Amino acid sequence: METTPLSRTTEPVETTPLSRAAAEEFAPATTYLNTAFAGLLPRRTVEAVAGLARANAEGGPVGTGDFEVVDAARARFARLAGVGTDRVAVGTSVAVHVGLIAASLPAYAEVLCPEGEFSSVVAPFAHRRDLRVSYAPLAELAEAVRPTTALVALSAVQSSDGRVADLAAVRAAATAHGARVLLDTTQSAGWLAVDAGDFDYTVTGGFKFLLCPRGASFLTVTEQAQESLKPIYVGWVAAEDTENSTYGPIDRLALTARRFDSAPAFLSYYGAERSLALLAEIGTDALYAHATGLAARFREGLARLGHQVVPAESAIVAAPGLGKRQAELSAAGIIVSDRAGNLRAAFHLYNTEADVDRALDVLG
């Protein structure tokens, strides 16, 4: 006797802005766990860059790019950072922004940095021979602030191992001693909520967790700290009246942080505006939960395999001594970094639990 198969009700799979973005905007050809080195570009970002490149090739009316797009990217970053647009300057790299701050310090000013801090945060101060630069372990940084400290410069999340700084303690110590704080959010912006208005200066490279093309970076400056900066990289883009400032001395600099702009790389900012729009659709809280959840799964798996891991509630995972296995993972199509001997993996919206398990299988 022929039987009729039972009918089954298929529950619709719930989608979220994050899952939709992962499916629609990304198609990695590898198991890519290397966002702390460079983020993958969304499809919409690639299309924006390609569109401007074509216009450049064809000699269209846009020319090399439109400052309205740069200002749109500035505004999107301002919202993500929790500050007004008038507090944001654009540039091309973190080192350029930090160099501006370093050049503005008076001679013999004392700068305090964490040990092992990323070189772009440290080198501009260290190579000014008339500054006094000292270092302390990250966990002891707040206690190392002294009455003579002029500036504390640190990253919110350490590049080498993903440790998250105790920003409240550092800020409180700096305030108590009259010191300013420079915070690099390159390894945190996008997945970790940080109010840039709580710090005198923040600098952010856009090509990691913000998923921007390399060449887009952002500086935020509080109103009080703006007076301390010397507009060293002054070009016509920093003028209040840009249309009438292309020749000769600039009569009046911009009244906002735009006075610290350096000429933008338009291709990068056309892409940055699209990437920042995508992150706004997802939201920092959702990305935090997703990325740190995957990172926790990877840490737990490494511990089960008997490997040491750096403890942190971070999207970046570091396993000391395992950096030498980076080449082996790469051969298996799993992209990670070797940083200071650490095997470093970083998780973003385009990663899944399957990515974590694939990496653990190779390491096991």
pLDDT in tens, 11-34: 545 789 999 999 999 999 999 999
Element (H, E) at 203: strand 201-205
* Residue 136 main-chain phi, psi, to 5 deg: -145, 155
Q: How far apart are CA 78 and CA 151, in angstroms?
A: 23
Q: How far apart are CA 255 and CA 34, in angstroms?
A: 39
147 pLDDT exceeds 50? yes
3 pLDDT exceeds 50? no
pLDDT interval class at 10 (50, 70, 90): very low
Domains belonging to the chain, first-starting first, are: 17-42+282-363 (3.90.1150.10), 54-281 (3.40.640.10)
Structure tokens at 111: 């700068």
Query: What pLDDT, on a 0 to 100 scale, did the predictor assign at position 61?
Result: 72
Q: What percent of the chain has pLDDT over 70?
A: 96
Q: How far apart are CA 227 and CA 104, in angstroms?
A: 10
Of 22-26, 55-59, 80-84, give the lowest mean pLDDT range.
Answer: 55-59
pLDDT interval class at 64 (50, 70, 90): confident
Q: Which amino acid type is present at position 360?
A: L
pLDDT tens digits for range 104-136: 999 999 999 999 999 999 999 999 999 999 999
Long-range contacts of 104-110 (CB under 8 A, 24+ apart): 104/228, 104/229, 104/230, 104/232, 105/131, 105/150, 105/151, 106/150, 107/131, 108/132, 109/150, 109/151, 110/134, 110/146, 110/148, 110/149, 110/150, 110/151
Q: What is the dihedral of CA 124, 73, 276, 233, to 10 degrees?
A: -10
pLDDT tens digits for range 191-210: 999 999 999 999 999 999 99
